[in-house]
Amino acid sequence: MQMRLTVPSFFERMQPRHYFWMSSAAALVTIILKTMAWWLTGSIGLLSDAMESFVNLAGASFALWMITIAHNPPDRDHPLGHGKAEYFSSGFEGILIFGAAGAIIWSASQRLLAPQPLEAVGLGLIFSVASTMLNLAVALSLRSAAIRFRSISLEGGSRHLMADVWTTVGVIVGVLLVGATGWLWLDAVVAMLVGLHILLEGWKLIRASTDGLMDAALPDEVVDKIEAVLDTYAARGVGYKNLRTRRAGAESFVYVDVLVPRTWNIVQAHDVLDEIEEAVQEAVPEARVFTHPEPAEQGGLRVAGQGGARG
């Protein structure tokens, strides 16, 4: 009998921390490439692009630390796990972006007051384009991994790198326009626009981090799946109320009070609660489900709304 061996691809074997090692290495390379581009041309726009890569490196390093903590198993002090550590990573990266944006806008304003000619534009742009292609490849890898691991840290890293890609594209266009028109002030204006763009991206990351730390509900489409599962038990005289959901990193949590007929004994109630937990977990695989039995109201079954399950 011939045995067939399936060997997983390189990326399938990678864990979240490996992606952040890759992101950190890519950030180091792009810093060198973008710094060379700025040094050759003297463009403040390219300098602003290089400054953002320093943020990428710091963010990836901090995210590696946080995602390592997030994947530690639950312990006595953290019985629900450490998943929320990922939100600190996203928030930290957002704060770094704010700082970088401020520095970029300040530097650009000084250059706007005293424009300078650009040099060796062609060679400088070659380095800039090379860094952009590297960032694009890493960003797409992180996005795929974020979906696979349901990781907000990976998602934040991907979004930041994609913002970096578009930033570099804008800077390259600006440098080309300066060379074509001779309008030196365009270089500073492009740098300012870069600063405003990454400022917006930083705000999005901080908002996502805040939502996670404040136990924002799961998306409506996920809550709809949970409610659809719970509604199937109405025919058996089982209802529910106080459905609450939240997300902590890669994990989702579902809490619900299950209403069972008053005539049921504890064994019957326990069995149906186990069945409901399994059914919800099948519909939402990453969910940890917590149920609590309560007697249905006298005189009939009452099926209550979700009670704050949605954001």
**Residue 62: both structure tokens together:** 């901090």
Torsion sign over Cα 31, 36, 39, 42: negative
Q: How many whole angstroms separate alpha carbon 118 and alpha carbon 172?
A: 13
Question: Each residue of 138-147: b (16+ CB within 10 Å) or e?
Answer: bbebbbebbe
How far, in whole angstroms, is CA 183 from its chain's centroid? 39
What type of residue is 132?
T
**Residue 16: both structure tokens together:** 């979240």
Contact 303, 239 (CB under 8 A): yes
Q: What is the structure's pLDDT at 311? A: 44
Please give the domain boundaries of the chain with CATH numbers for all domains. Answer: 10-213 (1.20.1510.10), 220-295 (3.30.70.1350)
Q: How many whole angstroms separate alpha carbon 51 and alpha carbon 245?
A: 39
pLDDT by 10s per residue, the chain, length 311: 444 444 445 556 777 778 878 888 888 899 899 889 888 888 877 877 787 777 777 777 777 777 777 777 888 877 777 777 777 777 777 787 787 778 778 877 877 788 778 888 888 889 989 999 998 999 898 888 888 887 767 777 787 788 778 778 878 888 888 888 888 888 888 878 877 877 887 787 788 777 777 777 888 999 999 999 999 999 999 999 999 998 876 678 999 999 999 999 999 999 999 999 999 999 998 888 999 999 987 544 444 444 445 54
Write down how long the chain is. Answer: 311
Element containing residue 251 per DSSP (H, E): strand 251-260
Single out the residue of 262, 220, 211, 209 nearest to residue 88, CA to CA. 209
Q: Which residues pair with 288 in a beta bridge?
A: 253
Q: How many whole angstroms separate alpha carbon 140 and alpha carbon 157?
A: 10
Phi-psi region of 120 (alpha: psi -120 to 50; beta: other; left: phi over 0): left
Q: What is the structure's pLDDT at 11? A: 57
